[in-house]
Amino acid sequence: MDINDNKSILTGFGHDVARRLDSLGFTVFAGCLYPDGEGAKKLKSESSKRLHIVPLDVASDESVLKAHDFVVKHLPNNGLWAIINNAGYNVIGDVEWLTIDLYKKIMNVNYFGAIRTIRNFLYLVRRNKGRVVIVSSVKGRYSWPNNSAYHITKHGLETVGDCLRLEMLKFGVKVSLVEPGNFSYATACQSESHFKRYEEEADEMWKNANDDVRKTYTRKYLDNDLVRQRSSISGSGATTKPVVDALEDAVVSGLPHTRYLVDGGTWFDRYTTLARYYYYLPTWLSDWIITKMTGCDKFPDYSKMKLD
């Protein structure tokens, strides 16, 4: 599995499922972007000796190859049973604001990172008729304004998962997609370090925008995006347990689900609720619902917002 974590994050889907599978007796290879970070150290200290921390940057071919060599060298006699692809991050901004460089950066981690990992380790799983588990997102089910870069990667993972599932039928390998809803609080993906990155990316977008875009939208439009990101924490699921339960089931069940759509939120997750009905709705109606949820059809009332 890969845990593309921030140095200071001590929780998350990758971190928690690594601990869960270790507790079940699996030999776990936890790929960490920051193997010397607090999150990796905590994971190692709270796990058995069967758990290995593996340096892994899924955006790098060289790093994935090195991780492969480490895993092969330390594999138990029964080989590799499962791959869990979990690494990912978010980029916010309208299409007219996002730079090509930002699109490339998120694609290289969220999308190509999963493909790199699968391509390098799949033959080991195929030998055992094992499992491939891809952590996508509820946002791979529909399209959302102001978030195209992230949605593109998650829609791409949904397609890769579907194609791979059909390709692996003849080998007896099961492929599952896990689609978490709102778990931004539980995973610390809305930490201050993330907000700092959002601010830096907003500065980059402002710097690279043409005069017409700057005049039409104004800088307050970008700043409002940051306000909305902070507000998304409210209503988030408080624990990763529902997602970790789904990941465990995808690995150990004799009949794993093709998709695990996992509700977040405190008592109601509007994102997963929309996903359950989205493909049954006419486009005009789903557009109307998303417009009402996001207010994307009009500029925000800045007088009612706290913009630093």
- DSSP for 81-125, written as a single string: -EEEE-------B-TTT--HHHHHHHIIIIIHHHHHHHHHHHHHH
What pTM was computed for the model? 0.91
Q: How far apart are CA 204 and CA 199, in angstroms?
A: 9
Q: How far apart are CA 30 and CA 86, in angstroms?
A: 11
129 Rama class: left (phi>0) / alpha (psi -120 to 50) / beta: left
What pLDDT does residue 129 have?
Answer: 98
Q: Domains for the chain: give ranges and CATH numbers.
A: 2-190+236-281 (3.40.50.720)
DSSP state of 169: G
Q: Is the pLDDT of residue 306 over 60?
A: no
Q: How far apart are CA 270 and CA 294, in angstroms?
A: 12
What pLDDT does residue 8 have?
Answer: 46
Residue 193: pLDDT band with limits 50, 70, 90? confident
Q: What angle do CA 284, 285, 290 make, to 5 degrees?
A: 100
The catalytically annotated residue of 34, 142, 150, 185 is: 150
Chain centroid to CA 174:
20
Q: Is the pLDDT of residue 168 over 80?
A: yes
pLDDT tens sequence across 242-281: 999 999 999 999 999 999 999 997 788 999 999 999 999 9
Q: How far apart are CA 113 and CA 58, in angstroms?
A: 5
pLDDT tens sequence across 41-52: 999 999 999 999
Q: Are 83 and 125 in contact (CB under 8 A)?
A: yes
Q: How far apart are CA 271 and CA 158, in angstroms?
A: 16
- 195 to each of 190, 192, 205, 226, 231, how far by Cα in Å? 7, 5, 15, 7, 12
Residue 307: pLDDT band with limits 50, 70, 90? very low
Q: How far apart are CA 133 and CA 250, in angstroms?
A: 7
Helix and strand numbers, DSSP H then E, in the chain: 12, 7
198 tagged catalytic: no
Q: Is the dihedral of CA 179, 147, 162, 121 positive or negative?
A: negative
